[in-house]
Chains A and B, each alone.
Chain A
Amino acid sequence: EAQVTQNPRYLITVTGKKLTVTCSQNMNHEYMSWYRQEPGLGLRNIYYSMNVEVTDKGDVPEGYKVSRKEKRNFPLILESPSPNQTSLYFCASSLSEVSSPLHFGNGTRLTVT
């Protein structure tokens, strides 16, 4: 089944404790991205990648890191999480960055205390 798999679904952590949210897609998509979503706000892009070893900052990259060492994986790393990073996070992929619809993972609800 074609899908984007994110883990974990739920994560509660404390300020400053490094964490990684994994994202993997099995559709051979070139484009992958990370979003955060809060009530009343649109999806905000954190980082995106147009291909292996190519990553770019989105609208809200501060406090996050990503890597794209393989085409299928695009992990999101929070080196020192803070409470303002409490949010719902989505990973997404598409065939290309132009006109192709995004396929989203099921989301990760992160709480930082």
Chain B
Amino acid sequence: GQNIDQPTEMTATEGAIVQINCTYQTSGFNGLFWYQQHAGEAPTFLSYNVLDGLEEKGRFSSFLSRSKGYSYLLLKELQMKDSASYLCAVMDSNYQLIWGAGTKLIIKP
């Protein structure tokens, strides 16, 4: 079966750095997405990785290792507004998105 694993919840301090991991086992691979979802709101797109390596976009970076079935989202200089759930999704060989359950990130002052 296909599976995406992410930690259920993480806590970090304002101004710090946090890394949210995502491991996947899917039938084929056509890219990995990260989305941010604030409570009660719609998910919004953060990043897309299809090749190995690090993609940096402001305070957020996303890393992919296809051989290890592993990705992480790195958030720097955390702000209170970063408190949200972070969803990892992998596109399989049939171009279907497989979603993780999401990681709830709690930022403390």
Residues of A within 8 A of B (CB): 40-45, 58, 90, 97-99, 101-107
Within 8 A of A (CB), among B70-90: 87, 89
Binary A-proximity of B15-37 (CB < 8 A = 1, otherwise 0): 00000000000000011010100
**B73-109 toward A: CB 8 Å interface, digit per residue (1/0)?**
0000000000000010101000111111110000000
Residues of A within 8 A of B89 (CB): 42-43
Whether A99 lies near B101 (C-beta < 8 A) is: no
Q: In the complex, what residues of A have CB within 8 A of residue B101's CB?
A: 40-42
Interface range, B side? 20 to 34
CB < 8 Å neighbour of B42 from A40, A99, A101, A107: A107
Chain B residues at the A interface, C-beta cutoff of 8 Å: 4, 8, 30-31, 33, 35, 40-45, 48, 50, 87, 89, 91, 95-102
A99 proximity list for chain B (CB < 8 A): 30-31, 48, 50, 91
A42-B4, A101-B48 known; A90+B42 contact, CB < 8 A:
yes
